[in-house]
Chains A and B, each alone.
Chain A
Amino acid sequence: MPDLQHLKRVRKTSLEEGGFKSTLLLSLEHPTVLPPNLPEPYISPVPTSPARNLEEVVLKSTIWPTVYQPRRVEKITWTYGRIRWIRAGIQRVVDEARRAKEMGEVPIASYVPDEWETVNGLAARDTRNSTKHPLRHSVMNLLRQVSNAQHSPPEPSDNMTRNGQRYLLTSRTLFTTHEPCIMCSMALLHSRVKDVFYIYPMNQTGGCGGLSCVPGLDGVNHRFSIWKWTSPVDFKDALEVDPQLDA
């Protein structure tokens, strides 16, 4: 029962006359054949998600015993090295976006640093104008580049190819000039990116907090962190785009 994993299988209630009554949780989607000596099953309301704090444990467990699963809060140490690394990533996307503009493109670009910092990483610009294709956003272009850069053929023994998914950006950071649209935000989620840094929010179309926050929705099976770069340097003039555009 993958969707019921946050629930305990058995509810124990103490009886007035002493001893316990155990109630077993079953699922309508996965009917179980019960031994004939048990009473008829009945439908019970249950919480939809695990308890995130101790108060929720108490509240949710009055409905049905619920698993305690606090959200993992990652401790981030902002070393000078890390800030320098982030600033370099931001500078790279700004440079790429400026170059895009010079070439008649929408000034949006994305960049993924190399995993081991040994090479330059991969960058991509928005190309919807030159390709006459409205979906050639910088994130989609970048994901295509990342997959092209992986030369190894898929093997059945390779964990990464299982379940029909290639986890392209697992534990990697993406920098982009503008908050990605819903399509691109979901593409990043499918690719299992770890962190996304952007400079300009897109309040009307963005999928990382603007119009919606795709990695924060109930049901999605991966989360990524979203960071907004706020620096004293303003690139806005050069990188301004229509606020109704999908980045």
Chain B
Amino acid sequence: MDVDDEDAIHQAWMDQALIMAEEALKAREVPVGCIFVREGQVIARARNRTNELKNATRHAELEAIDEIMANPILTPVVTSQILAGTTLYVTVEPCMMCASALRQVGIERVFFGCENDRFGGCGSVLGVNSSLPHPVHRPFVAKAGYRREEAIMLLRRFYITENTNAPQPKSKATRVLKTEIAPPKRPASRT
């Protein structure tokens, strides 16, 4: 299979992660969504639920991992690499918390949409996925740039309506949804 065909497949999976992010936006959560894929099947779908659960750690990735762990068919025996052979598609780069969690459960690889400059754990702030040495957990590959613009636009749509926390909140009427997107600061793919 050539690279373009493969990219098309990853983008098609990412479209399903974007549906979860849309759902988060409708629920007034930071719009991040993800799916976990094993042997060509979606085994879990989740979205950010930090507001609903009043817990700042309930990110989409951790929600999905818990769902997989709770399912005896998906997780018959707990080993150190529960998510070996499993691929994550997530609209935004996993934060350092989620990247560490994913490494601790032995995820195979991760595809994400846009970078996370504040908390990114797959290279933006810290390479928790691979450059950070861990004595036990093997590193995983994380590739950026799949449906990046769609992921960014979702975040912008959220912040334009929700961010009234600024010292001088602008009135909603004067806020404009920007549509031009700057290129990534770092090369699009990394391991």
Chain B CB count within 10 A is highest, among A161, A183, A217, A220, for A183
Asked if A134 meets B100 with Cβ closer than 8 Å, knowing A143-B55, A164-B158, A220-B119, the reply is no
Are A212 and B78 in contact, with the CB atoms below 8 A? no
Are B56 and A191 in contact, with the CB atoms below 8 A? yes
Say yes or no for A72: interface residue by CB 8 A criterion: no
Q: What 1/0 flags go to A9-30 for Cβ under 8 Å of B?
A: 0000000000000000000111
Mark the stretch among B12-20, B36-44, B162-170 that contacts chain A.
Answer: B162-170
Chain B residues near A220 (CB-CB < 8 A): 118-119, 125
Say yes or no for A218: interface residue by CB 8 A criterion: yes
Mark the stretch among B2-10, B131-139, B143-151 that contacts chain A.
Answer: B131-139
Chain A residues near B28 (CB-CB < 8 A): 164
A207–B134 Cα distance when bound, in Å, is: 12
Q: What 1/0 flags go to A161-198 for Cβ under 8 Å of B?
A: 11111111000000000000111111101111000000
Q: Which residue of A lies closest to B101 (CB)?
A: A183
What is the count of residue pairs linking A and B with beta-carbon distances less than 8 angstroms?
Answer: 129
A145–B107 Cα distance when bound, in Å, is: 27
Q: Which residue of B lies closest to A150 (CB)?
A: B54
Chain B residues near A133 (CB-CB < 8 A): 66, 69, 78
Are A163 and B56 in contact, with the CB atoms below 8 A? no
| Majority secondary structure, A binding face | loop
A interface, how many residues as a size bin? 35 or more
Chain A residues near B135 (CB-CB < 8 A): 204-205, 243-244
17 contacts between A and B (CB under 8 A): A3-B117, A133-B78, A135-B101, A147-B53, A147-B55, A163-B30, A163-B165, A164-B28, A166-B51, A182-B126, A182-B132, A184-B97, A186-B100, A204-B135, A205-B134, A244-B135, A244-B136
